[in-house]
Structure 1
């Protein structure tokens, strides 16, 4: 399996690390694209940094490289996820504005009718963002929020992150070890 993993400027870089770690452990080929906004968020939040993400990826592409393999529909992938997905990236995808590799790869994913999962991490949701969420949904993307469940009785932040990782990767029919499903 080959997936594109976009990381945009929304707060929540630990979600991206969790997803990349799980994909690495599952042996999935990943093509990582980190937006300039995400790099600024990493610096500001002081949590996981770019080397933490790139160490878990199979391939790393610069966000300004619109000639990268994942910018073309002829380069076959099994889909893309954007985690976290900022409001700005959501708007770009909703309106077909492909000015960086994250938004271009998302555009290609939709045009090729491949799965696109967008994990938004922003609250509250103003009307323009709600409209953009509906627009990407109608275009074929799956919209998820980075909101963990609690039925598995989490005891740590890591377990909350793991829940979101597992639910995101469920969209690609990938099973994350250690994930407790409802009533299991």
Structure 2
């Protein structure tokens, strides 16, 4: 049996849509098949934060699904993947996943990832956090999700936003055992 090199990518409506866009490029570059689902809010955020069109982002994925397609391959546990990453992850998306009351393919795919005991990485983009957010995060951690806010690592001496984005994504991909070559690692020689 060959190893599956397939990752589900969710892009929700939180600020930081560039995280999901860049992730698609990185995955293509390392030969990982990306399966993309974007929320409607992500499409709005994309227009506010970039000059990209929705179709341009979808074209970066190996496979893309409409957010309403609840019968898509990624909605089934029998569809094998390495797991799922939601980059960025809004508080609404995080909350839906935590309750299991999913209203879209994005949150359904995340729910399936958890039930199949595959890694689910949520790059939550919101601050400050109130107690309800923290309790939801605790609930998700107890369920097996990995909460990964894209906090900058300044020891890597980033030269700009691209370096910050790449470092955060490279570290998130480490959680799937994927080396992207975009991280300046502490204690290791420069790349």
TM-score (norm 1): 0.96
**TM-superposed deviation, 1:54:** 1.4
Q: Which moved more, 1:134-143 or 1:169-178?
A: 169-178
Residue aligning to 1:7? 11
Distance in 2 between the 1:164 and 1:17 partners? 13
Residue aligning to 1:120? 124
After superposition, where does 1:6-155 map in structure 2 within 5 Å?
6-155=10-159
Aligned CA-pair RMSD: 1.1
Cα distance, 1:16–1:76 mapped onto 2, change above 3 Å: same
**What is the CA deviation profile of residues 77-115 of structure 1, one whole-angstrom value per residue up to 9, with x for unaligned ones?**
110010000000000000001110010000100011111
Distance in 2 between the 1:49 and 1:121 partners? 22
Cα distance, 1:164–1:38 mapped onto 2, change above 3 Å: same
**TM-superposed deviation, 1:165:** 1.1
Cα distance, 1:139–1:46 mapped onto 2, change above 3 Å: same
Q: How many residues of Structure 1 are paired with residues of Structure 2 in the alignment?
A: 184
Distance in 2 between the 1:98 and 1:148 partners? 30
Q: Is the 8 A contact 2:74 2:109 kept in 1?
A: yes
**What is the CA deviation profile of residues 90-147 of structure 1, one whole-angstrom value per residue up to 9, with x for unaligned ones?**
0000000111001000010001111100001111011111111111111001110011
Q: Is the 8 A contact 1:13 1:48 kept in 2?
A: no
Structure 1 residue corresponding to 2:178, chosen from 167, 171, 174 = 174
**What is the CA deviation profile of residues 6-45 of structure 1, one whole-angstrom value per residue up to 9, with x for unaligned ones?**
0001000111112111101011011100001111111233
Which secondary structure does the structure 2 equivalent of 1:145 belong to?
A: coil
**TM-superposed deviation, 1:53:** 2.0
